[in-house]
Structure 1
Amino acid sequence: MSEFNLLEEVKKNIGLGGNDYHDQTIQSYIDEVKQYLLDGGCKPKVVNSPSSAGLIARGVLDLWTPTGAADFSPYFKSRAIQLALKDDEDVQTE
């Protein structure tokens, strides 16, 4: 999945589809969530697959807080562990 498509998918998932105003901020959070997943042991093919878009959107939403007290939700952390255990062959590519 290209970054542009991932950005659009995340925006739709968090209710900001069609609005370009927050693109730079959202892209920054996408990059942060993807790096968190990679650092946690997820394979790049798994992180970049369309099937990871929902989890990445959840992570972006977890980080998107006006208080500055950003933390990943228990769901995000549990799902990240599941993705870290996936092999390249087990990933949806479309």
Structure 2
Amino acid sequence: MSVQVVNRVRVISDRSGHNARTVGDGRWVVSYLPGRTVSLEQAVAAVQFAEFVSEAAEFARLIGLTTREAVYYALADPLWRTETPGVARRRR
């Protein structure tokens, strides 16, 4: 991932078309967050997230899912649990 702050006015990515720009007073807008202003730290995180999602889209495509489907399923609780060899499971 390569996210850069350019001339303190723009946050760009070499892996995603999404970017951010300053609107003054330390506030930033992000290309995929219309109507919302964020801090520079949040703008950088948002552009990094856009890069992450574009990479996730490639994995989703490889397993035959849309990006949204893959994220939904990956965030869901697992259907079954597996024991890790050599790791004792705590009982409640």
Give the alignment's TM-score, normalised by structure 1. 0.31
Give the alignment's TM-score, normalised by structure 2. 0.31
Higher relative contact order (CA 8 A, sep 6+): 1
Between Structure 1 and Structure 2, which shows a larger proportion of strand residues? 2
Between Structure 1 and Structure 2, which shows a larger proportion of helix residues? 1
